[in-house]
Amino acid sequence: MRPTTPWSDVFDLLHPALGQTLYMVGVATLFATVLGIPLGVLLHVTAPDGLRPVPVLHRILGTVVDFGRSLPFIVLIVLLQQVVTRPLIGTSIGPTAAIVPLAIGAVPFLGRLVQSALREVDATVVEAAVTTGATRARIVRSVLLGESAPALVSAVGVTAVTLVGFSAMAGVVGGEGLGDLAIRYGYQRYDDRVLWSTVLVLGALAMLIQLLFDVSSRLIDRRRRVTA
């Protein structure tokens, strides 16, 4: 007979797992943003037609980013365990340790999103700033980042939702969280009640994050919205 966790206990399982997921995803998103946006800027400005073309650096960065994105997350966890996670955190087990591969895995992903957001900034606008005698640093800050701010917020949102998915694998290194709960109870114990409850919470969480970033993006956007 399949063991079914009583409803009263389901909540007690979900509550800490949700907290762990939020912790991992939140901190990882924060770090990914801090590193991913500069990476995207670097990818954009070093392009052959960029503000400061450095084709060699551009190609190296592009290769590293694509390589990083092609790595299955589960492999990344293992890969970073000895080299980065343990020296940095002191342990390779637990939610805090799981943040390291989560953040690092999300950086190239967000970097590409940022790059394509910056590409959408009209060249005329950039050139107009150049003619005012602005330095490259100012153009990046005031024009590229300023004009693409709504797109950047969306990009961080997409990254956060992706990280919710990635965090399911954090269970491998004792990161726990919702994904881990679903695997342990749903897969290993055939406990459908916990499985579906977890999936529901995960889905709601992803939707909520998406909504939050969409609304923020729209709030800061000063362009006229097209209504069809």
Partner 1 sequence: MITVDNLVKSFPSRSGAVRALDGVTLEVQAGAVCGVVGPSGSGKSTLARCIALLERPDSGAIRVDGTDLVTLDGNRLRAARRQIGVVPQGDSLLRQRTAAGNVALPLETAGVDGPTRRRRVGELLDLVGLIDKAASYPDQLSGGQRQRIAVARALAANPSVLLADEPTSALDPETTGSVLTVLDRARAELGVTVVVVTHDMAVVRRICDDVALLDGGRIVENGRLLDLVSDVDSRTANALLPALDQTDGIAANHDRVADVVLVGFAAVGALLPEASNRFGVDLAVLGGGLTRLGETPVARFRLGLTGERADSALEWISEAGALVRRAQKGPQGVAA
Residue 42 CB, shortest distance to partner 1, in Å, is: 21
Question: Where does this chain bind partner 1 (CB under 8 A)?
Answer: 122, 124-125, 127-135, 138, 142-143, 146-147, 149-150, 220-224
Amino acid at 108: P
Residues in CB range of 160: below 8 A, 6 or more apart: 25, 29, 209, 213
107 versus 126: smaller Cβ distance to partner 1: 126
- DSSP-assigned letter for residue 187: I
Q: Which residue matches tokens 């790059």?
A: 115
Output the six-digit token pair for 68: 């990083």
214 versus 221: smaller Cβ distance to partner 1: 221
Residue 27 CB, shortest distance to partner 1, in Å, is: 29
Residue 57 CB, shortest distance to partner 1, in Å, is: 20
Residue 62's φ and ψ, nearest 5 degrees, are -60, -40
Residue 149 CB, shortest distance to partner 1, in Å, is: 6
1 versus 226: smaller Cβ distance to partner 1: 226
Residue 217 CB, shortest distance to partner 1, in Å, is: 12
> In angstroms, rounded to a whole number, what is the distance separating the alpha carbons of residues 21 and 27?
10
14 versus 125: smaller Cβ distance to partner 1: 125
Residues in CB range of 163: below 8 A, 6 or more apart: 24, 25, 28, 29, 32, 102, 106
64 versus 220: smaller Cβ distance to partner 1: 220
In sign, the C-alpha dihedral spanning 160, 175, 92, 190 is negative
> In angstroms, rounded to a whole number, what is the distance separating the alpha carbons of residues 140 and 128?
13
> In angstroms, rounded to a whole number, what is the distance separating the alpha carbons of residues 24 and 177?
8
Residue 194 CB, shortest distance to partner 1, in Å, is: 46
Output the six-digit token pair for 156: 């961080």
2 versus 224: smaller Cβ distance to partner 1: 224
